[in-house]
Every structure is written in structure tokens, then in C-alpha cells.
Amino acid sequence: MGIHDGHREKMRRRFAQTGLSGFADHEALELLLFYAIPRRDTNPLAHRLLERYGSLEGVFTAPAEDLEKVEGMGGSAALLLRLVPLLAEKSRERTDGPVILNSTERAGEYLLRRFDGKKNELVYELCLDRKGKLLACKLLTEGDVNGAELNIRRLVENALLTNASAVILSHNHPSGVALPSSEDFATTDRARAALEGVGIPMVDHIIVADGDFVSMRDSGYFTK
């Protein structure tokens, strides 16, 4: 057993006995990275990640392509770091029946949970049936704190593949307020036109920021 193997075994035993109690952030990250980087000391990499992103939350919300730019990271490690928060989010999803989003309030509350704690801009597509039942919630794009570009092709493909009768688009403003910008209006127009081209209405665009949300439909924009 090499020096790194001995250190890893001690870390695993410590976690088995106490959980993450007493683990510094870099130690918790180092432990997780064991499972993507089997034969290299992951302590320096854990420190580099925290220095770059500022916190564990920053690391776990960073785009995979950005994570891979950090020295010592590879595709498998980046995938693992993106997978962990997504699995945690999935585990919190309701399992006691269908999710019905047939009102602005229901859709807004659902999206507030989706965006809770997110530091980067994300764009979600909610695919609904005729009664407002959620068929799928698809992450269309993930950007940085300054924005994310909408993938129109994926937007349309998701709606068709889920056999959606309606679509709600949503994104967050991580460092702003929940009010649409000129770019948001332009994006809404592009998305509505693309979906109308395949016969699927886009019924709302909801913007989330700082625990609040704004419906562009309720604001009157969708009547134009």
C-alpha cells in the first residue's frame, strides 16, 4: 500500500465513523474526488477548486466545461462534481403523484425550488400536457453569472419528444431582480416563434431571482 492509499483509507474510515462532521470543505471535496481520480493525490486539486470557485456550492454549480479547465481535472471528475448536486436535487423531487402546474402560482413555486441556491444562470423548459401536468423539466442551458444562451433546437426537440401540449420557459437572474431585460423579451419572441412552428404554444416565461418570480404572461407580454 502506497502513501496515498494509506491516506485514502484513513479518510474513508473517518467518514464511515463520523460522516462529514469535522471535515473541512477541502477534505470533503478531496474524499469525493477519490472516486473519479483513483491513483493521484486529490488534496491539491480540492484546494485549487475551492480557490477558483470560492466554496463547495460554487464548485458544484460550475459548468462541467469550466471545471475541466482546472489543472488536474478530467472529464470523469467534472462529471462526478456535476452529478452530485443533480442527484441531490432529483432526490428532493415529489414522488407522491403527478406535478400539476396549471396556474402561475404553482409553476412559480415549483421553479423557486428548482433555482434555489443556484449561482449560475440556468434555463429550464417545462413540458406540460393539456391539463397542466408536468411531463418533463429539462435543463436547456447552463451559463455563468452573466447569462446563458438559449438552445432553440433543444427547446423544440424536448417539446416534441415529450409530446407536450404546452411549454413554460424559465430562467433565473442570479445577481439581479426578477424583471425581464430586453434580451429576455427577444429570447421569448424567438422561443415562441420556434414552438409555434411545430404547433406547440409557449404559455409563459417565468423569471426567478432572490426568492421571487415574475410571469411574463401575467405581466401582459403574451397578449402582444
Task: Give DSSP secondary structure letters for 17-66.
Answer: HHTTTT--HHHHHHHHHTTT-TTS--HHHHHHHHHHHSSHHHHHHS-HHH
pLDDT of residue 157: 92
| Contact present, 59 and 50 (Cβ < 8 Å) | yes
pLDDT of residue 145: 45
Cβ neighbours around 97 below 10 Å, total = 7
pLDDT in tens, the chain (224 residues): 444 668 888 889 988 888 888 899 999 999 999 999 988 889 999 999 999 888 887 888 788 888 999 999 999 999 999 888 778 767 666 555 688 999 999 999 999 988 887 878 889 999 999 999 999 888 888 765 444 578 899 899 999 999 999 999 999 998 788 889 999 999 999 999 999 999 999 999 999 998 899 999 999 988 75
Letter for the amino acid at 177? Answer: V
Letter for the amino acid at 145? Answer: V
Letter for the amino acid at 160? Answer: L
pLDDT of residue 1: 43
In angstroms, the CA 73 to CA 154 distance is 28
Query: pTM of the prediction?
Result: 0.62
Q: Judge residue 131's burial from the number of C-beta atoms within 10 Å of its C-beta, 0-12 exposed, 13-18 middle, 19 or more buried.
A: exposed
Reduce the DSSP state of residue 70 to 3 states and report it.
coil
